[in-house]
Chain A
Amino acid sequence: MMLFKLAFKNIKKSVSDYAIYFFTLVLGVAIFYVFNAIDSQTAMMKVSESTRDIIDLMLNMLSGVSVFVSFVLGFLIIYASRFLMKRRNKEFGIYMTLGMSKGKISKILVVETFLIGLLSLVVGLVLGCALSQVMSVIVANMFEADLTEFTFVISTNAIIKTIIYFGIMYLLVMIFNTISVSRCKLIDLINANKKTETIKLKNPYLCIVIFVIAVVMLGYAYYQVTANVENLRETWQVFLPIGLGAVGTFLLFFSLSGLVLRVLQHFKKFYYKGLNSFTIKQFSSKINTTVFSMTVICLMLFVTICVFSSCMSMKNAMTSNLQELAPIDIQLLKTKNIPR
């Protein structure tokens, strides 16, 4: 029971540390619910037959995308929990010097994850229910549906799906935590704070080369999908620029910090003026350590912006198309009978 108390106390006392993690989880749950609840949100709308077909198509796509979303969320959650674990290395070190077994430490972590998970699920679902009402208004607006019979809808299906998916994610987090606890050495835990982050000084010439390559790759990718778009005939041809763009973004961030530092250090007058040296070093070390997550964030933003804008324009194009093709409500055609 002491373990349980300890776990609970830890969460309570380190609220600030946990707040970001908790917030991430709540948002994740809410978004996931909203995504999966569109299904039942749209069911009540009065829409025409053809629109219903489009909606069904959209729902099919959404269920596929929700798997992707759950993967992204899963990575995010595991990443966040690892970050939290690292901050607590010293604490685990103290537990172990006092003779707590690794099994017990894992148990504390499991209890903590469970508590946080449960709380975030509840809060996230409540938030999700509220958000999905807003979402249904947007969707209805998009399909010009009749919203006179608007009711507050709670999708049990989506709730169950969310609980199952997040349950699996939390289970994964628990397993990951247990593995990393069982792997760590006491001497590293105790000295965790004393160890400074190893600053890998990258070779400046290599940085320049990589930077140039990254710029070329990005430039080529964007040229392919914008100015040269007429030459894109096959579907597979799209993947090349996408791949190049992704790798290019990563390499850009990879080489950026080293390059910027090198270049700015050359201008001694600027570098040693005021707090410049401090700011630049901080900036470059931040980029250095978070290359991967920055790349992912950039790509995600890119995807979001593209998908959002193209969806909106697609919808507009389709409705205007419809207007043009069918300017009137009923059209009767009579073809002349040609005698043989």
Chain B
Amino acid sequence: MSNLLKIENIEKYYGSRSGLTKAINNISFEVSKGEFVAIMGSSGSGKTTLLNCISTIDRVTSGHIYMNGVDITKLKGNDLNKFRREELGFIFQDFNLLDTLTAYENIALSLSIQDKGYQEIDKLIKDTAKKLGITHILNKYPYQMSGGEKQRVASARAIITEPKLILADEPTGALDSKSSKMLLDSFNYLNDELNATILMVTHDAFTASYAKRVIFIKDGKIFNEIIRGEKTRKEFFDEIIDVVTLLGGDLNDAL
């Protein structure tokens, strides 16, 4: 498997002269094509900052992030827009759907920004909606949907452009356990069937147990890394809990 994402010694500092915070303190790792990686850590450990840096929402203080050999920390202007448009798909904790548009229009937005024709957009949306089970809510507005439905619409928007990398920031953070399970099942489907590469940030062991590999972060550094391999999800979950306990037990170990 080839490397899709390669992160090299990145650092991110916040603050001013008086109080310098090292949100990310020298992190390096790689993600191969078709992997499903979860990044775990307690709140304040720098995991969201890490994701923001990879997604080019924020800029690193030092270090490099390579995507297919291109250093994305150096991208600017239209190259950056093109990169976001064609290679990344975002899923946020609070969905970030536009309230003035229906689910259909929200999903269509990411395609029409790419200047796709109407017929192609229509076909793609119908296909994706079927895969994620949201066909019946396509004409609803975000305020008419449940949290789980919103997150699946947001996922549809993220994956419909067939990005090389899907970035999810606490995707189950605002969902109940049933919706979380449905969303994670659809992540697994995307990963297994469509061979999508997913990088997910979470503080929840249950959510992380759906991934193939879990990277633990503590105080801006990589603390540990475990791989699921041939284990069942339950075994993997127990293993994650063990590491979490080792980490200091700050995390939600319920579920």
Contacts and interface: CB of A to CB of B under 8 A. Distances in A.
Contacts of A98: 84-85, 90, 109-110, 113, 157
Interface in B86-137: 86, 88, 90, 92, 94, 96-98, 100-101, 105, 109-110, 112-115
B94 to A, nearest CB: 8
B58 A187 contact: yes
A100 B100 contact: no
B32 interface: no
A153 interface: no
B82 interface: yes
B52 interface: yes
B20 interface: no
28 contacts: A2-B112, A6-B109, A9-B100, A9-B105, A13-B101, A90-B96, A91-B98, A94-B97, A94-B98, A95-B113, A97-B57, A97-B90, A98-B85, A98-B110, A98-B113, A99-B81, A99-B82, A99-B83, A99-B85, A99-B113, A99-B114, A100-B85, A101-B78, A101-B81, A104-B113, A186-B56, A186-B57, A190-B96
Contact of B57 (A14, A95, A187, A193): A187
A308 to B, nearest CB: 42
A319 interface: no
Interface string A79-103: 0000000000011011111111100
Contacts of B113: 95, 98-100, 104
B101 A9 contact: yes
B57 A190 contact: yes
A10 interface: yes
Interface of A: 2, 6, 9-10, 13-14, 90-91, 93-101, 104, 186-187, 190, 193
B84 A96 contact: yes
Which of B81, B94, B105 has the most C-beta atoms of chain A within 10 angstroms of its own C-beta?
B81
A318 to B, nearest CB: 57
Contacts of B86: 99
Contacts of A6: 109
Contacts of A10: 100
B60 to A, nearest CB: 12
Nearest to B92: A190
Query: Binding site of A, secondary structure by majority: helix, strand, loop or mixed?
Result: helix
A73 B55 CA distance: 42
A94 B96 contact: yes
Contacts of A2: 112, 115
A99 B158 CA distance: 11
A186 B157 CA distance: 19
A93 B101 CA distance: 15
Contacts of A104: 113
Nearest to B78: A101
- The 3 A-B residue pairs whose C-beta atoms are closest, nearest first, are A99-B85, A13-B100, A99-B84
Contacts of A190: 57, 92, 96
A90 to B, nearest CB: 7
Given A95-B113, A186-B57, A100 B81 contact: yes
Nearest to B52: A187
Nearest to A5: B112
B109 to A, nearest CB: 6
Contacts of B57: 97, 186-187, 190
Contacts of A186: 56-58
Interface in B63-79: 77-78
A98 B86 CA distance: 9
B108 to A, nearest CB: 9
A84 to B, nearest CB: 14
A100 B85 CA distance: 7
**Which of the listed residues B83, B88, B110 has the most CB atoms from chain A within 10 Å of its own CB?**
B110
Contacts of B92: 190
Nearest to B157: A98
A97 B98 CA distance: 13
Contacts of B101: 9, 13
A1 to B, nearest CB: 10
Contacts of A101: 77-78, 81
A191 to B, nearest CB: 9
Given A98-B90, A99-B83, 8 more contacts: A13-B101, A93-B96, A94-B97, A96-B84, A97-B84, A100-B81, A100-B85, A190-B92
Name which of A2, A97, A99 has the most chain B CB atoms within 10 A of its CB. Answer: A99
Contacts of A13: 100-101
B216 to A, nearest CB: 25
Contacts of B82: 99
A37 B52 CA distance: 57
Nearest to A9: B100
Contacts of A193: 94
Specify which of B78, B96, B115 lies most central, judged by the most chain A CB atoms within 10 Å of its CB: B96
Contacts of A95: 109, 113
